[in-house]
Amino acid sequence: MNIKAVYFIGIGGIGMSAIARYYLQRGLVVAGYDRTPTPLTRELEKEGALIHYDENVNLIPESCLDEASTLVIYTPAISPEHAELQYFLIHHFDIQKRAQVLGTLTRTHRGLCVAGTHGKTTTSSMTAHLLHQSHVDCNAFLGGITKNYGTNYILAPKSDYIVIEADEFDRSFHWLSPFATVITATDPDHLDIYGTEDAYLESFRHYTELIQPGGYLILHEGLKMQPNPSSGVTTYTYNRESGDFHAENIHIGGGEIRFDLVSPLGNIDRIELGVPVGINIENGIAAMALAQIAGLTPEEIRRGMASFRGVDRRFDFHVKNPKLAYLSDYAHHPEEIRQSIESIREVFPGKRVVGIFQPHLYTRTRDFYREFANALSLLDEVILTEIYPAREQPIPGITSQLILDNLKPGTQGRLIQKQDVLNAVRSTDFDVLITLGAGDLDNDAEDIATIVQEKSRQ
């Protein structure tokens, strides 16, 4: 097929937009639909993408109506009944899931993939930065906007490596063929897709079978799933000597984190984290393992770790002054939330920490409301908004009240409407404020930051 145009259904998604940028930089016509305009879609339009926001076949550009030269890419979050998807199906266009396109790229490049319930966006972004600033370089398709590059995509036509965030939603990562992969965590999630924890774990086990012969599998120590790769397995962990890759001589203090990497591929001392958050020690160990496999030198790894600036909405500071701090985090799984709050406690010992959490999906709330309550009880005060539905319809009886009712005794908590978030920030006493969730709460981040700055001057 001689592709001249690529049409995206759900072009504004973080993973979809990265592929859209790939085709834009190759000079193809790129167009698509998304439900609402966002900063990301506006950036894509500036870069040349033709985007509309009404589900209307008549709005598909004429340049994308030739089935012989147009590739259609869709996200599994789109309904099968979507009018534009149905049009392309009826007219026999070449239609692929986002993951299929990434899978093809892993068969033409050396794929360094990062999978896992949580931690994969930061770890894959770290890996991409390490390679991109080294003599190896890489292409990258990421699940977040990196602060180093202001994008979720890196193009390096001369590099043989491609870094991919391997998404388990809808079993998307089963399309990939990694040269090397990290699995960060397998805490159950997406049970609306998998049904049971066993099915979820089996999906990861199958993913390990897809590693190329002679490739590499690096597992976080202690995962429940049993891998079945064609090659050997190594493990990584924070600072226990049982992990093949781990940290030693960890120093946390004065706004800095330094440690030594212990690695079967060669130890590296004097690692300094550019984003000095405890969880990034673990993320960094996994990223450095992939970087060593790709052939980076110790000095390149040191330089890359120190210069990594993080990812939007991943432990993302908007305000940090001697009086108050405000940060946002994409954490939307109980274990992610627990790790995020524990990291805050590490950075701000003894401070009053308040969190505003917008639950993401009715099914996830139904399946994990007790676990959410336990994790959020690590805060001094919990403010809950209504559930962000994304692709789902409401489920009777499933509301944020379930989480509120299960907070541990002694934990302050209340439920508000999202429209009242700014007033809640104004009226609440805190030293550190964090907004949590994968919904649209982050749209208020700029206004929240302004209020926090005002409070810090009072």
In tens, the pLDDT along 60-116 reads: 999 999 999 999 999 877 889 999 999 999 999 999 998 899 999 999 999 999 999
Measured distance CA(143)–CA(313) in Å, rounded: 11
CB 425 within 8 A of CB 433: yes
- In 3D space, the residue among 436, 435, 437 whose CA is nearest the CA of residue 361 turns out to be 437
pLDDT for the residue 231: 66
Q: What is the pLDDT of residue 120?
A: 92
Residue 294's Cβ-count burial label (10 Å; 0-12, 13-18, 19+) is: buried
Measured from the Cβ of residue 282, the count of other Cβ atoms closer than 10 Å reads 23
CATH number of the domain at 5-96, please?
Answer: 3.40.50.720
CATH superfamily to which 316-456 belongs: Mur ligase, C-terminal domain (3.90.190.20)
Question: Quick check: helix, strand or coil at residue 370?
Answer: helix
The CATH number corresponding to 109-307 among 3.30.70.270, 3.40.50.970, 3.40.1180.10, 3.40.1190.10 equals 3.40.1190.10
Per-domain residue ranges for the chain? 5-96, 109-307, 316-456
Give φ, ψ of 34 to 5 degrees: -150, 160
C-alpha 114/C-alpha 112 separation (Å) is 7
Nearest-angstrom CA–CA distance, 306 and 303: 5
How do residues 178-229 score in pLDDT, each as one tens digit? Answer: 999 999 999 888 888 898 999 999 999 999 999 999 999 999 998 988 887 6
Average pLDDT, the chain: 93
The two tokens of residue 422 are 């700014």
Query: Which residues lie closer than 8 Å to 4 by C-beta, 6 or more apart?
Result: 28, 29, 63, 66, 69, 70
Q: Cα–Cα distances in Å, from 382 out to 117, 354, 373, 403?
A: 23, 6, 9, 10
Type of residue found at 416: I
Given a cut of 80, whether residue 242 has pLDDT beyond it is no
Residue 249, both tokens: 């001589």
In tens, the pLDDT along 121-165 reads 999 999 999 999 999 999 999 988 899 999 889 989 899 999 999
Q: Is the pTM of this model over 0.85?
A: no
Euclidean distance between CA atoms 274 and 305, whole angstroms: 6
**Residue 249 burial (CB count, 10 A):** 12
Torsion of CA 224, 230, 236, 242, to 10 degrees: 80
**CA torsion sign, 148 to 337 to 75 to 223?**
positive
What is the mean pLDDT of the segment spanning 238-252?
A: 86
